[in-house]
Structure 1
Amino acid sequence: MTSLKKGLFSSLILLVLWYPWGLSAGETMRVVYFDNFPPFSWKGENGKMQGIFIDVLDEVIQNHLGIRLYHEGLPWARAQKMVKDGNADAFVTIPTPERKSYTEVSREPVLISYMTIFTKKGHEKLNALEKVNTLDDLKEYIILDYIGNGWGDKNLTGFRRDLSPRLDTVFRMLAAGRGDINITDSMVALHRLKELNLQEEIVEIPIVLDEVPMSLCIGKYSSFAHILPEFDRTMEKLRKNSTLQSIYSKYR
């Protein structure tokens, strides 16, 4: 090989290594979501995924990093299994220890989730619930929750927890008095209660029990795992210039 060819070959190798998303360029990143988790992620009437998670990832990964995205909505437990099994690249959620065992997690959260209490309007212990300070104060209550809720799996061990397949079922059961409370993200709950026309039957107790980062989690065996440093830098920049805030505001 001539010196000129050797130089060109070396330059090409350095260019590939330097390129922010390396071998992922030109590929499509498959991101899976809970298909019924508005305003974060849900399947619209046209069958396409929409919501805060989709808009943020489109802005950061597609518009700024130049990587095509394919958004797919599924029941939440199934979506997580797809990433765990290597059949999808990523999801956005709470980075629990179990999820960290098979994904790489962004340093910058896609958003911060504020966990509050919801109960049936006129609940016989409403006054006591309004004075809650910690999770331990809720030990006596039946907590309605949905399968695949990582925050609940982590924080509600030892509580009286009744699981349903979907959040909609949880709220209908709560309105029917078939449980005492639900603990979930305030924005998600208020949006869903309005859609279900249950906003007059279920009330929020605006005590923030936890602030939880909802992060981009990319499967360890995905060819896109190495984009996280660039993702974090871009997220930080867009947070500072209010681009992210403008996306969040559309759903309030």
Structure 2
Amino acid sequence: MILTRRRLLLAAGMMAAFGGRPARAHAKLTIAYPDKSPPNSWVAEDGRMQGILVDLTAELARLAGYDFVAKPLPLPRVQAEVESGAVDGMCLVVTPARLRYAAPTAEPLTAGNVTLFVRRDNPMRDRLAAVQSLDDLAATGATVIASEGNGWIRANVESRGIRTVFANGTIGTVRMLVGGRGDVIADMSHQIRFLLEEVAGGEAVEKLPAVMDVVDWHLLISRKSPVFADLQRLDEANRVMQASGLASSIFEKYGIKV
């Protein structure tokens, strides 16, 4: 009953936000997601895409009158297919490189802290625990583990000359850290904490207290997609969704308190 009432309120809010204009005819909205990046996006055992960003975009698409399709891909291919216009968009952090071929929603789908994760038995653990900024991290000489195609790492970590090794997907970064193949992960705190509970040996890793950055995750629409002309409607749908408090319930669905 509560969920039904919420959906009715969302629908009413949507009509008000659109000034009473009816939703567009049901066109398709195809969004590509990294396929190994739980809890944000990953492929379930039955082959379906699931995750926080998948659920958020599905609701946004419903409100805007689109039939939603989620396409799982490795992160580098996600970006390549958005750039070529093969898919309509992606849900990632905005970077200068991505802005060249895609436009973000005015407001983010969600936001979160980037923090550091290290094995407790790493000889550099105490030095890394004293890090307060990315410049401090660069001074330690530590090796950062990142997922292939991570634009935030390229813009903020590699640009500082920090040695970086790459894994296949975010879950791969956690497996590498647990296995001692690198010193530290710098990534979204909620995402790595979720994965540490799923990966064998995750209890050997701890989150360090300092926040390196606060990043927003936007829906980015390809400039070559026909949906690009409808970005304002997606913005309006996102505002209604954010005002509803639905995002918090989606996080809680995956066991994350916000």
TM-score (norm. length: structure 2)? 0.84
Rate the CA distance shift 1:110–1:20 in 2: closer, same or farther, 3 A. Answer: farther
Equivalent AA in structure 2 for residue 90 of structure 1: G
Q: How does 1:80-99 map to 2 (within 5 A)?
A: 80-99=79-98
Q: Distance in 1 between matches of 2:65 and 2:154?
A: 35
Structure 1 Cα separation of the partners of residues 193 and 22 of structure 2: 39
C-alpha separation in 2, matches of 1:108 and 1:248: 18
Q: Which amino acid aligns with 2:181?
A: R
Give the aligned CA root-mean-square deviation in angstroms: 1.8
2: CA distance between counterparts of 1:176 and 1:46? 29
Aligned residue type for 2:61: I
How many correspondences in the alignment? 232
Residue number in structure 1 paired with 2:102: 103
Residues 140-167 of structure 1 show CA distances to partners (whole Å, capped at 9, x for unaligned) of: 1111112111110110121111122333
1:195-225 CA-to-partner distances (Å, cap 9, x unmatched) read 1123211111132110101000000111111
Structure 1 residues 128 and 20: alpha-carbon distance in aligned structure 2, compared to 1, 3 A threshold: farther
- Which consecutive residues of structure 1, in runs of 5 or more, have no partner in the other structure? 1-17
Alignment of 1:72-221 (within 5 A): 72-139=71-138, 140-156=141-157, 157=159, 158-221=161-224
Q: CA deviation at 1:55?
A: 0.9
Q: Is the 8 A contact 2:31 2:90 kept in 1?
A: yes
Q: Distance in 2 between matches of 1:142 and 1:79?
A: 26
Contact 1:20 1:230 in 2 (8 A): no
Separation in 1, partners of 2:223, 2:240: 25
> How far apart in 2 are the matches of 1:21 and 1:95?
28
C-alpha distance in 2, partners of 1:232/1:216? Answer: 9
1:241 maps onto 2:244 in alignment: yes
More divergent stretch after superposition (205-214 vs 237-246) = 237-246
Match of 1:38 in 2: 38
> Residues 28 and 237 from structure 1, CA distance in 2 versus in 1: closer, same or farther, beyond 3 angstroms?
closer
Identity over aligned residues, as a percent? 30
The amino acid that maps onto 2:150 is N
8 Å contact kept, 1:96–1:150: yes
- Residue aligning to 2:29: 29
32 and 101 in structure 1: CA distance in 2 versus 1, 3 angstrom threshold: same
| Cα distance in 2 between the residues matched to 1:136 and 1:81 | 30
Gaps of 5+ in 2: 1-19
Alpha-carbon shift at residue 21 of structure 1 (Å): 7.2
Q: Which has the larger radius of gyration?
A: 1
What is the one-letter code of the residue matched to 1:127?
A: D
Once the two structures are TM-superposed, the CA of residue 20 in structure 1 deviates from its matched residue by 7.5
Secondary structure of 1:200's match? helix
Counterpart-to-counterpart distance in 2, 1:79 and 1:144: 20
Deviation at 1:35, TM superposition (A): 0.6
Closer/same/farther in 2, CA of residues 20 and 119 from structure 1, 3 Å limit: farther
State the match for 1:65 in structure 2.
Answer: 64
1:232 Cα offset (Å):
2.1
Question: In structure 2, the residue corresponding to 1:108 is in which secondary structure?
Answer: coil
Look up the match of 1:14. Answer: none
Q: Distance in 1 between matches of 2:174 and 2:237?
A: 37
| Shift in Å, 1:191 | 1.3
- Output one character per residue of 1:220-244: Cα deviation in whole Å (capped at 9) or x when no partner: 1111113322222232233223122
How big is each residue's C-alpha offset from its partner over 1:5-59, in whole Å with a ceiling of 9 and x where there is no partner? xxxxxxxxxxxxx96876xx33211111001111111100110101111111111
Q: Describe the SS at the equivalent of 2:200.
A: coil
